[in-house]
Structure 1
């Protein structure tokens, strides 16, 4: 039986990867600061531990795993990454995790390790035109990410490639473009745009109003979790290192994404534009390289993923409201 280690196995992408690999009959170990928030882990073994601690990394890598997936990072959406208030933690925490995990895998002679980089490492100067951003893999240099999160991702890419060059490790690197779907963070400040909009629309009364940051003309592409996992596994099991984009090339403005969410919900709402952290003006996954190397690229329409995500978040909100009503009802009964 093949064995895999999922770093960040309690997070959104990591917990979904655990489920995917269990479907393939892997023995799976997860490691994270916490268990998955929305459903029990399906991992065969799960370590609650801080990967900033080298001892925890050595404990997690106690054997020669067939595949290691490194998703663990200090990250979030625009409200977390672009305020500047979390820059030191983002760079320190994620950098420590990657250095420790690479060292632990090297000492255990683990060869195949996947690293989840981000499209945030692309230069800001190529993403100023909302309608024509440049995000091909060869456009990464001269480097100038628009956030410390992007700079850390760029550093860690080079760190993984250095371990491959010097120690013969078989690293695989993907630059993710806004992964979303059910069982992802949908409130609290770390959520990304699809989840935030689903939450706002679900909580709004028909004919009401929701707030969005900026003028709504900034553009992005968003990739549904199932396609993220498929691309990640195909890359990891290929004989090609990357780095490569894993993302959708269906670019939309944030206003259009909000309108799509309203149509899914069957609501008509007004958009109130307010100041807020925005990131680059435009970003879209360039999928020419992944298609040429792996003969695959994401193909699911954005609307399909948004429908599934909206239904799940709406259910989360309804379940919470029911719990609140039950608590209030119980309090009145006791009184």
Structure 2
């Protein structure tokens, strides 16, 4: 019999690529998503497969899955500022109640569970590059705290279930990831820049552009996550690309990539926006034998080609049109 894996956030950017990977590895995949920020288009190619099933469900409510489970990947959460600042309560609930429900399911099914944590647990870091033993510099009551603290709590309860109940757990600290299926207007750097370039708008850089990010192509990210799940390591592991670049220099790369003549417009930096973001991946190299293979130039070319293929309707769509109708007060 095929091994069975539950993937929450399955209709999202990263979740959908994980579904593809586990289908490729001959698992029976159960996808789950409440479609607040996910899109069924990302997984519609899987619906015809017998080894894939999908449940439209909010994991903040009780989660039931019939039959056995070998693995659970908890990737359900708004992941971009434009999302979690718009739906802060849902963001906190999926990181707390949702994680609690899925850890309980893992305990019941005797399944191994991996949770998607984030580099945002480091906040605006005072240590650079960020290592897994750095505790972070997070504003708990700032606007970004709804995401940062949800993820920090998620890590804490995951380790508690491991220590107290003996649940097999894995924690992935995911750094900026990009590639096809990102939402064009989700507020993150890459889709924001490419969307502006394709629409002929000036590129918006916040602050003076000296803040840095490190971008990992989705195929590399999925490989690192897959290896972490199957490893024997229970503490957090950074999964990201250490190739760091300033946002201003990255904007210039986008202008060159898109062969456009847009200007760069500076706007005030949002509150608590981290000034530096670069993973130390020594642990991933040692434990998982993993490091990124796809260069930023190669990955960005694939990503740009994907966005160019979108329709004009998608290109000019309102930032919140996709999920407003799903939000419940």
TM-score (norm 2): 0.86
Displaced runs of 4 or more, over 6 A: none
Decide whether the 8 Å contact of 1:178 with 1:192 is kept in 2. no
Give the direction of change, closer, same or farther, for the CA distance of 1:319–1:39 in structure 2 (3 Å limit): farther
Say whether residues 1:234 and 2:227 are aligned partners. Answer: yes
Which residue of structure 2 aligns with residue 52 of structure 1? Answer: 60
Which residue of structure 2 aligns with residue 139 of structure 1? Answer: 134
Which residue of structure 2 aligns with residue 161 of structure 1? Answer: 159
Matches within 5 A, 1:112-123: 112-123=112-123
Which residue of structure 1 aligns with residue 101 of structure 2? Answer: 100
Unaligned runs of 5+ in 2: 317-329
Matches within 5 A, 1:1-335: 1-34=2-35, 36-42=40-46, 44-54=52-62, 57-58=63-64, 60=65, 62-73=66-77, 75-81=78-84, 86-110=87-111, 112-126=112-126, 133-140=128-135, 147-148=144-145, 149-187=147-185, 190-204=186-200, 209-277=202-270, 279-318=273-312, 320=314
Report how many residues are paired: 305
Alignment partner of 1:76: what SS?
coil
- Greater share of helix residues, 1 or 2? 1
Cα deviation digits, residues 245-270 of structure 1 (max 9, x gap):
00000011111111111211112321
Decide whether the 8 Å contact of 1:123 with 1:140 is kept in 2. no
Give the direction of change, closer, same or farther, for the CA distance of 1:79–1:49 in structure 2 (3 Å limit): closer
- Tell me the distance in 1 between the aligned counterparts of 2:315 and 2:295: 31
Cα deviation digits, residues 112-136 of structure 1 (max 9, x gap):
1111000000143516xxxxx3311
Decide whether the 8 Å contact of 2:71 with 2:113 is kept in 1. yes
Decide whether the 8 Å contact of 2:284 with 2:290 is kept in 1. yes
RMSD: 2.3
Which residue of structure 2 aligns with residue 330 of structure 1? Answer: none
- Tell me the distance in 1 between the aligned counterparts of 2:220 and 2:135: 24
CA apart distance, 1:64: 2.5
Give the direction of change, closer, same or farther, for the CA distance of 1:259–1:177 in structure 2 (3 Å limit): same
Give the direction of change, closer, same or farther, for the CA distance of 1:41–1:191 in structure 2 (3 Å limit): farther
- Tell me the distance in 1 between the aligned counterparts of 2:81 and 2:252: 20
Alignment partner of 1:28: what SS?
strand
Out of 309-318 and 220-229, give the one that drifted further: 309-318
Decide whether the 8 Å contact of 1:199 with 1:314 is kept in 2. no
CA apart distance, 1:212: 2.3
- Tell me the distance in 2 between the aligned counterparts of 1:125 and 1:16: 29
Give the direction of change, closer, same or farther, for the CA distance of 1:229–1:315 in structure 2 (3 Å limit): same
Unaligned runs of 5+ in 1: 128-132, 323-335
- Tell me the distance in 2 between the aligned counterparts of 1:142 and 1:215: 22
Decide whether the 8 Å contact of 1:125 with 1:144 is kept in 2. no
Decide whether the 8 Å contact of 1:78 with 1:277 is kept in 2. no
Decide whether the 8 Å contact of 1:200 with 1:210 is kept in 2. yes
Alignment partner of 1:124: what SS?
coil
- Tell me the distance in 1 between the aligned counterparts of 2:129 and 2:76: 27
